[in-house]
Chains A and B, each alone.
Chain A
Amino acid sequence: LAKTTQPISMDSYEGQEVNITCSHNNIATNDYITWYQQFPSQGPRFIIQGYKTKVTNEVASLFIPADRKSSTLSLPRVSLSDTAVYYCLVPSSNTGKLIFGQGTTLQVKP
């Protein structure tokens, strides 16, 4: 399983773009990169997933460089409701297991 490393916390203000970078140096060829968001007392919510280059959906963008050893989740124009813990994960392509790290606690201030 690829281990991931991301900042423990980040602060931002409403309306700003937030970029959270995650490193996954030992990612395997078939592995995807997945990001989840978790609010207190709720299960994680899927945000975005990618394999290479750039993926965009209605919520976020995910940038993955050619070597795939890192990825950056980009949240455009955050609001107070984006305050949450964000997890970068690389599921095992064989077992599907997810091993959660500490995640990044994003605090959005008014």
Chain B
Amino acid sequence: GAVVSQHPSRVICKSGTSVKIECRSLDFQATTMFWYRQFPKQSLMLMATSNEGSKATYEQGVEKDKFLINHASLTLSTLTVTSAHPEDSSFYICSARDPWDTETQYFGPGTRLLVL
């Protein structure tokens, strides 16, 4: 299947700082990427849909000013957690939809964020 990467795989930051997470589709161009968050022993929660060349669309309850999403190219979407707080500590996962195989999403390996 298609390959999606994330960087970094884990990050520790101080409260109040911002953290950027990258999501790349390695062998296909993705016009649409998705960002999820997963807390321990819970399921994935969709945060937003990232569209190349346009603004992201956020799910209800997700603060767009806190979770900045940029999809500047067909292979890269970034999620920036601004002014991070300990409650933002979570596992962040992205996925990408191959336009030639629109029914399938391929997920990245995830990024573990710990805010101290």
Contacts and interface: CB of A to CB of B under 8 A. Distances in A.
B105 A98 contact: yes
Contacts of B32: 96
Contacts of A97: 34, 46, 49
Contacts of B108: 43
Contacts of B6: 43
Contact of A95 (B49, B93, B95): B49
A41 B43 contact: no
Dominant SS among interface residues on chain A: loop
Given A34-B104, A49-B103, A49-B104, A43 B46 contact: no
Interface in A76-99: 87, 91, 93, 95-99
Interface residues of B, number: 25
Interface residues of A, number: 22
Given A43-B110, A98-B95, A91 B44 contact: no
Contact of A44 (B97, B102, B107): B107
Q: Which one of A32, A97, A99 has the greatest number of beta carbons of chain B within 10 Å?
A: A97
Q: Which one of A34, A36, A96, A99 has the greatest number of beta carbons of chain B within 10 Å?
A: A96
Given A46-B1, A49-B104, A96 B110 contact: no
A96 B45 contact: no
12 contacts: A34-B103, A34-B104, A36-B107, A43-B108, A44-B107, A49-B103, A87-B43, A96-B97, A97-B46, A100-B44, A101-B43, A102-B43
Given A43-B110, A97-B49, 17 more contacts: A34-B104, A34-B105, A41-B91, A41-B110, A41-B112, A43-B4, A43-B6, A44-B93, A46-B1, A87-B43, A93-B103, A96-B97, A97-B34, A98-B34, A99-B46, A100-B36, A103-B43
Interface of A: 32, 34, 36, 41-46, 49, 87, 91, 93, 95-103
